[in-house]
Structure 1
Amino acid sequence: MLTTNLERIRAMVTCAEGIGMPRGSGMFRQALHAVAFQSEEKIAAKVDYLKNTFRWSAAEVVIALSKAPMLLRMSKDMLQSKSEFLVSEVGLEPMLIAHRPIILTYSLEGRLRPRHYVLKFLKQNGLLDRDLSLYSAVKMSDKVFVEKLICPHKEAAPHLAEDYAAACKGEVPTNFRFT
């Protein structure tokens, strides 16, 4: 930004404010980065895409972008695949995703899908003693996730650690396939 002309910086600030990011926000710098060198038309198109893909209202888009402005830099294909997974397969409400948009920044194949499979497996087999959300599971570091959700079930599900590791590599182990 130091080499960018002043007029372009002003346009970036206006654009960041236009997506609902106040200047005093701690996320303002990230919003500037998200809108940097994108035309207003491109940003408006991405906002419309977010509305349609996640079935968000204009207010929900503002909420999501205020918490995760980097959504504007994600590809449409990536957003579409995450929407299909989170809304259609996992069953998350679009409004919940809008209020916790950081979930969209995690890898679908490396984190979201494997952790969903583990949670689903544990719930179906009565091994989860509490109702843990996918969002809570995704936020955990890998070390904490393994320690809290996989290690306690070594005896009941000895294959779980291997299957989780395989799923994180993009494979779908047969023990994670649900019929």
Structure 2
Amino acid sequence: MFRHALHAVASFREEEIAARVEYLRITFRWTDDEVGFAVSRAPMVLTRAKESLQRTSELLISEVGLEPAYIAHRPTLLTFSLKGRLRARHYVVKFLKENGLLGRNRDYYSAVKITEKEFVEKFICPHKEGAPHLADDYAAACKDEVPTRFRFI
């Protein structure tokens, strides 16, 4: 972790690091303690582009409905690809829940943190009969295409 922290801050001046920490605090609606916790657990979030952090915040807080504190305690969420992982897996989990194929209390982070192979085995394969299009729709969502079946009101 120390190596990651050094890499994250090596190319920034102290003022830039402070500005990035403040941006995280505002964008994710975190307290000072939550920012400190998140950065200490995943220092690479300091290197993420502001636009990327903003879009990730919008997805996680507005669309997925995660609480800021939940995100702060799982800062690796901010290191995953927005298009290829976070959004696509959100669509699958939401689709499965809305169609009664997955329990409503399933934790979003548990679907995001696992490998691609594990995700397909746990969330796609068991539903081949109930949702035969799911694998193709997920593949399309990973390419930042939103299949009609994943359009939610």
* Superimposed CA distance per residue, residues 47-102 of structure 1 (whole angstroms, 9 cap, x where no aligned partner): 11011000111111110001100011111001000001100111100001101000
Mapped partners of 2:114, 2:21: distance in 1 = 29
- Tell me which residue corresponds to 2:90: 116
**What count of residue pairs does the alignment treat as equivalent?**
153
- For residue 130 of structure 1, report the CA deviation from its aligned partner: 6.3
- Tell me which residue corresponds to 2:78: 104
Mapped partners of 2:129, 2:11: distance in 1 = 54
In structure 1, stretches of 5+ residues that fail to align are 1-26
- Tell me which residue corresponds to 1:136: 110
- Tell me which residue corresponds to 2:8: 34
Mapped partners of 1:129, 1:93: distance in 2 = 20
Larger Rg: 1 or 2?
1
Does residue 157 of the first structure (1) align with residue 131 of the second (2)? yes
- For residue 129 of structure 1, report the CA deviation from its aligned partner: 3.9
Q: How high is the sequence identity, in percent, across the aligned residues? A: 67
Mapped partners of 2:146, 2:8: distance in 1 = 34
Mapped partners of 1:110, 1:172: distance in 2 = 12
Q: CA RMSD in A?
A: 0.9
- Using the TM superposition, name which of 123-132 and 100-109 deviates more: 123-132
Mapped partners of 2:62, 2:104: distance in 1 = 23
- Tell me which residue corresponds to 2:44: 70
- For residue 178 of structure 1, report the CA deviation from its aligned partner: 1.3
Q: Specify which structure has the bigger relative contact order, considering alpha-carbon pairs within 8 angstroms and separated by 6 or more residues.
A: 2
Mapped partners of 1:72, 1:162: distance in 2 = 35
- What SS does structure 1 have at the residue aligned with 2:101? coil
Does residue 94 of the first structure (1) align with residue 42 of the second (2)? no
- Tell me which residue corresponds to 2:147: 173
Which of 17, 22, 27 is equivalent to 1:53?
27
In structure 2, stretches of 5+ residues that fail to align are none
TM-score, normalisation: structure 1: 0.83
TM-score, normalisation: structure 2: 0.97
